[in-house]
Amino acid sequence: MGKVTLGELTEHFKLDPAELRWFHNKYCPVEDLIDPDIQPHVEIIYIPVPGTETGYYRNKKQNKPYYRTLNVLDNSKKFERIYGIVQTVQNNGGEKQQMHYSMNVKKSERSKLMLMRRSMYLNQKRPDLTMERIADEVGSIFYPMHLELYESGRLKHLDNFYEIQNRWETKKKKLTSYYKGEIVEKLIENLDQQLEFRGKTQRGILDSLFFVLYFFPLYEKFEEDHTYSFKTAIPVFPKQQQIGYDIKMTIYEEVTEEGKFKISVKGKHIDAENEEKTEYEKISGNLDFTYLLNAADKSISSIWGTIDINKAGNRKSISFECYETEE
């Protein structure tokens, strides 16, 4: 055992050296302390259960987030969070429309997530119009949703696609027995097409602003100046082509007293054909978001910010907030 180094153990168990040293020294006899490395005579090393919270970050002031490898945030730990999500839309300075719901997110493995959406509210009320109720019912078939992620944090795979298909077949029978009309038939036809293949369904999931923002590539390799730039598409206008953005993310390493650190996200609309368009046809827009991450497990604590877009004379503003809640 004496030939095993602290560095080798932390690499194998994907732990921070300071955390493993702290955990072992908390339980071992005085003569077996790791200081600074494992002593040759030590036969037993105390190692936390992978993915569990050790208490290290609550007991030791953390000055900056820890990285899995150089400039790559470590997102390997398990967690469970309940988020409140509020999305407010305003068109051309008119009346604001607000959507509010809760989402339970549970990470059981390094790349596996389970999501469960709770009741949705429109302008502080449960959906009351017929089509609103139908849309809410249809949306429920996707949950619980099981996802597999890339190490970067992006969505890789919808694990329970066939389960969702079966839920839809059951729900469809109920809808067709209760509701009649061309609009309902069209909705059913559209969802039949979306659920025909896994790829179509995954693209449909990413038509939700929550999923786009929650699965931003926060765990890619950042540059030495703690920035990461990429291009992506954002669902701004329902049922229309997503809007392309150039995005720059910046990690601010200072950890707050509450054990959180910030990532700023700023973006500008990109359109290679903009120069060829008339002033009326041109699209312009920006986005500005702030992420707070929990330093202990690098999970998202909160997201807030706005998207502003001007397309063919139509101005649209979307404010989005995702925050941890106890409910």
pLDDT digits (tens, 9 = 90+) for 49-86: 876 777 776 666 567 787 778 888 988 888 999 999 99
Q: Which pLDDT score, from 0 to 100, does residue 1 have?
A: 44
Pick the closest to residue 114 from 72, 68, 65, 163 (CA basis): 163
Burial class (CB in 10 A: 0-12, 13-18, 19+), 260: middle
Q: For residue 164, give both structure tokens.
A: 């969702």
Lowest mean pLDDT among 25-34, 144-153, 237-246: 237-246
pLDDT, the chain, mean: 86
| CA 146 from centre of chain | 13
Q: pLDDT, tens digit, for every residue of 268-311?
A: 998 766 566 666 567 889 999 999 999 888 999 999 999 999 88
Q: Which pLDDT score, from 0 to 100, does residue 185 have?
A: 84
Proportion of the chain above pLDDT 70, given as a percent: 93
Identity of the amino acid at 143: Y
Q: Which residue has the tokens 């390493």?
A: 253
Q: pLDDT, tens digit, for every residue of 162-219?
A: 999 999 999 988 888 887 788 788 888 888 998 888 888 888 888 889 999 999 999 9
Name every residue whose Cβ is closer than 8 Å to that of residue 71 and which is 6 or more positions away in sequence: 221, 222, 223, 224, 226
Lowest mean pLDDT among 99-103, 106-110, 283-287: 106-110
Task: Supply the DSSP string of 199-259, one letter for each residue.
Answer: HHHHHHHTTSHHHHHHTS-TTSPPPTTSEEEEEEEE--STTSPPEEEEEEEEEE-PPPTTS
Q: For residue 175, give both structure tokens.
A: 């809808």
Q: Which pLDDT score, from 0 to 100, does residue 174 have?
A: 86
Q: Which pLDDT score, from 0 to 100, does residue 238 have?
A: 73
Residue 240 φ/ψ region, left for φ over 0, alpha for ψ in the -120 to 50 degree band, beta for the rest: beta
The Cα–Cα gap between 190 and 194 comes to 6
Q: For residue 46, give both structure tokens.
A: 């105390």
Cα–Cα distance list, 4 to 18, 51, 119, 277 (Å): 16, 22, 52, 65
Q: Which pLDDT score, from 0 to 100, does residue 57 have?
A: 65
Q: Which pLDDT score, from 0 to 100, does residue 120 have?
A: 83
β-pair partners for 271: none
Length of the chain: 327
Q: pLDDT, tens digit, for every residue of 220-276?
A: 999 999 999 999 999 888 777 888 999 999 999 988 878 899 999 999 998 766 566
Give SS3 for 18. Answer: helix
Q: On the CB side of 306, how many CA atoms lie within 13 Å of its CA?
A: 8
Q: Which residue has the tokens 């002031």?
A: 61
Identity of the amino acid at 176: T
Q: CB under 8 Å, gap of 24 or more: what pairs does 58-61 form?
A: 58/259, 58/296, 59/22, 60/18, 60/22, 61/255
> 209 with 305: CB under 8 angstroms?
no
